[in-house]
Amino acid sequence: MGFAQVGAESGWRTANTISIQEEAEAQGIELKFTDAQGKQENQISAIRSYIQQKVDVIAFSPVVETGWDAVLQEAKAAGIPVILTDRAVDSEDTSLYETFLGSDFVLEGERAGEWLVENAGEADTNGDGTINVIQLEGTTGAAPAIDRAEGFATAIAADPSIEVTASQTGDFTRDGGKQVMEAFLQADDTIDVVYAHNDDMGLGAIEAIEAAGLEPGKDIKIITVDAVKDGMQALADGKINFIVECNPLLGPQLMELAKAVVAGEEVEPRIVTEETTFTQEQAKEALPDRQY
Ligand code: AHR
């Protein structure tokens, strides 16, 4: 298997990489692994090199949604099956890949928004009658950034007092989240809620909020996505208010799918990962057994 990974931008990504590498070894699959360092052109080069090496199967998690048709057509012409994992592409020709294994990111965004609607009573921390939300977006053009924004917007439409007043990318990194949050805090002293598209950006925002002399989780409520250990610890500590889980442990299902497509078996075109959500109390209970 040739696997073209996005990079190492987050705790989620690290757990995902480990899951893929460990499971390939456990199942006796020879893995050629590349880290694209967040760049689409690096992923395209890696996929082209896997085609040249005539691997049996290619899997990748696309950095962004668009711009994959040409390289996927090259793989198809070479007779090499492709599996999308974690993130989708927006190609209209679905024959360019065998299946897509990963989360429902729109649902994740909806779950984040629904929690805010249900807890709107405590979310107006500055008491001005409006719930001002700032959104820390994932990588621009990436499926989870697009879909988590869409799902959240749909859910909060149920309560007109909730408004996303500013939204900017923090590129799914802790540093990115911190820097964007610092700028938002300087520009606006009416922020009630931070909705971060992943834990790492939420954790960066916590650093910025504390440096500004405010208490994360109280003065500003924080909602994130992923539920990696650091995020869960911050949730249990009361610094984050709610986390929507996104499961990175895709290795076992991916290797099973790879074996099936290489054997010429039919596989489901879409396999959705099972996920849950965590409140602060639930995080305290789940932390001791958390694998990632
Ligand atoms: O595609 C999954 C997302 O990518 C994770 O939520 C985020 O942490 C990662 O960088």
Given a cut of 90, whether residue 125 has pLDDT beyond it is no
Token pair of 57 as six digits: 């199967």
What's the full length of the chain, in residues? 292
222, 205 contact by CB (below 8 A): yes
| Backbone torsions φ then ψ of 116, nearest 5 degrees | -65, -40
- Amino acid code (one letter) for 129: G
Q: 10 C-alpha to center of ligand 1: Å?
A: 7
114 lines ligand 1 (CB under 6 A): no
Tell me the mean pLDDT in the region 26-41. 98
12 lines ligand 1 (CB under 6 A): yes
10 lines ligand 1 (CB under 6 A): yes
86 lines ligand 1 (CB under 6 A): yes
Strands 277-278 and 242-245: antiparallel
108 lines ligand 1 (CB under 6 A): no
Apex 250 CA angle, 244 and 252, nearest 5: 140
Q: What number does the ligand 1 atom closest to the CA of 87 have? A: 1
Q: Work out the mean pLDDT of the chain and round it to a whole number.
A: 97
Helix (H), strand (E) counts: the chain: 11, 12
110 lines ligand 1 (CB under 6 A): no
pLDDT band for position 92 (50/70/90)?
very high
The predicted structure's pLDDT at residue 48: 98
Q: What is the pTM of this model?
A: 0.97
203 lines ligand 1 (CB under 6 A): no
Q: 13 C-alpha to center of ligand 1: Å?
A: 6
Q: What is the pLDDT of residues 227-284, one digit of tens each?
A: 999 999 999 999 999 999 999 999 999 999 999 999 999 999 999 999 999 999 999 9
Helices (H), the chain: 11-26, 40-52, 69-77, 105-118, 120-123, 143-156, 174-187, 199-211, 229-236, 251-262, 280-286
Could you count the other beta carbons within 10 Å of the beta carbon of residue 163?
Answer: 13
120, 160 contact by CB (below 8 A): no
137 lines ligand 1 (CB under 6 A): no
Tell me the mean pLDDT in the region 160-174. 98
Q: 89 C-alpha to center of ligand 1: Å?
A: 15
195, 131 contact by CB (below 8 A): no
Q: What number does the ligand 1 atom closest to the CA of 197 have? A: 6
Closest-CA residue to 35 (of 20, 54, 53, 22): 20
Closest-CA residue to 47 (of 6, 19, 12, 14): 6
Could you count the other beta carbons within 10 Å of the beta carbon of residue 274?
Answer: 7
Q: For atom 3 of ligand 1, which residue has the closest CA?
A: 144
Token pair of 23 as six digits: 């499971």
